[in-house]
A and B are shown apart, each in its own frame.
Chain A
Amino acid sequence: MDSQEPIMKLENVNAGYEKLQTLFDISLEIPRGKITVIVGPNGAGKSTLLKTLFGLTTVYSGKVLFEGKDITHMPPHERAKLGMAFIFQLNNIFANLTVIENLKLAGHDLSKEELEKRIEEVFETFPRLRERMHQKAGTMSGGERQMLAMGIGMIRKPKLFLIDEPTAGLAPKIAKEVLANVKKLNEQGYTVVLVEQNVKAGLEIGHKGVLVVSGRIVFDGPAEQLLARKDLAKLYLGLAV
């Protein structure tokens, strides 16, 4: 498949939670092998947009395409089988299990050799996890937990990572570390869609920037271009178009 072809596409999507519409006429392309960063003020619908990609919302009209295939009405667990991994903002690891148990669980349907190979890859990407291998996941720091959440995702070798506000509630220093890890993930060849509350830090690691305000996309282009816009603050607040 042409690597220039977007991995995922939204065409004129209207979506929301049951009867409450929160997204209006969204059209978006997710480029393969890149980091797409979705930013926007609180309640603008950025997390809803991410959840729409994974089928966790109700789509009233429009089309959701994954590798050219219409998946608008496909349930989440089937999307997972297609190669999408969704990392929840909270409760994205098993706190009572050890790190290695978490990773083994993620690859419970793989052969033993394959699983070991993939766990090794995770440990190479995130060496810290190897150190904490037999520690209970719940006893790790917030940053390490996000690392493990990404590791769990990696075991399944997804074509697309959907990451929902991984830095929420973390100290700035640790948040930076988490974003660096997202970048690392991308350097391993994974395509990432990231929802980030910290506009600057998020856009700095992203290739493509998407700004959502009041349920509509008001900017869609290269991340550095969005970052460089002098009227970003105004845009963000929905004061300029």
Chain B
Amino acid sequence: MNVEVLLEEIISFIGIYYILTAGLNVKAGMTGIPDFGHAMFFAVGGIVVGNLSARIAAAAAASQLHVSAWQAVKMVISNNTELMARVNEILPHMPGVSIIIILFSVIAALILGGLLGWLASYPALRLRGDYLAIMLLAASEGTRIFAMYYKPLMGKTPTVGLTVPNAFGFTGNAGLWSTIFILILALLVYIYAERLYHSPSGRLFRAVRDDEASAEAIGKDIAKVRRDAMIIGSALAALAGVAYSFSPWIAGSSVAAISIFDRVLWTFWPWALMILGGMSSNKGAALSSVILGALLIGPIRIYKNDIAAALHVESLGIDPGNFANALEYILVAALIIIVLFVKPKGLIPEYPSRTVSKDEVKATIDKIARERAA
């Protein structure tokens, strides 16, 4: 594997996971909504790209395929693989359409993700704690099964899914430019999350998490706060789904219900990253994504077979391929357990936020002292 591809995969992995974890952080870390159905919102991004954006691409390429735009749009579901193979040959020659598709995907994912989050906030207003966690897990599983077999959504075969439009083909180096795209998205999300954390709504999120009764007593609408957090967090998760669908990991192949709804990859992993980084800590989420992406996951995903070979596991009768797969599970599990035992507050624990800076306090005190003296 060449270095450039490796770097692209690692960086896009970091970007995708950071966005996904930042979304979870708004819900679970900051507002205390234990979302164990995060994958469902991530999947929205995959569906947007594989289904909606592909239809735009098909419509745009229709004339060159000698079919009507309407027929092409319908074929996205009925003849996905064949149609998209042709579309993806044409799309690189249509930079304008490609850019529209990328922008559309981002906006549609934010809106639809937010919408699904708004729907899912209904139980979040009525349930608390572990009940809510199970409720959201069940909702995610239900949606997964529905998406898997509902053909108009994810195509005819749940394991094959829908081929994504090659929207970065026009750049000549899809791997590089999609990685840059993901990196930019991640940076924007980072800036947004930092601002959100220190904004009045961010403080309100945390107030609701820490002491619901008091937040309510000072006249804050708890229901609205939780709803907002669900909308923002879920929209970010859907954005991560778009990033993933365009990433070098997919590299123009397909998004399938079986992979984009995977609860281990898109729910439990971000949970692990959030806990590792420190609940509600945005910097922590970023740091843990970088650590895992750069130091562990990239190399482990890519070199796990070499690791297995180096350890000579086959001499113990162990299958090297499966040992390599197991390594990834062991890594997440060990990481979570070690963090829970050794650093339960994460790498960058949340610090009590100062509403007024030290200097301001000092200035006020000085002012009062001067007035007294006068």
Direct A/B contact, Cβ within 8 angstroms: no
Q: What residues make up the interface of A, taking CB atoms closer than 8 Å to B?
A: none
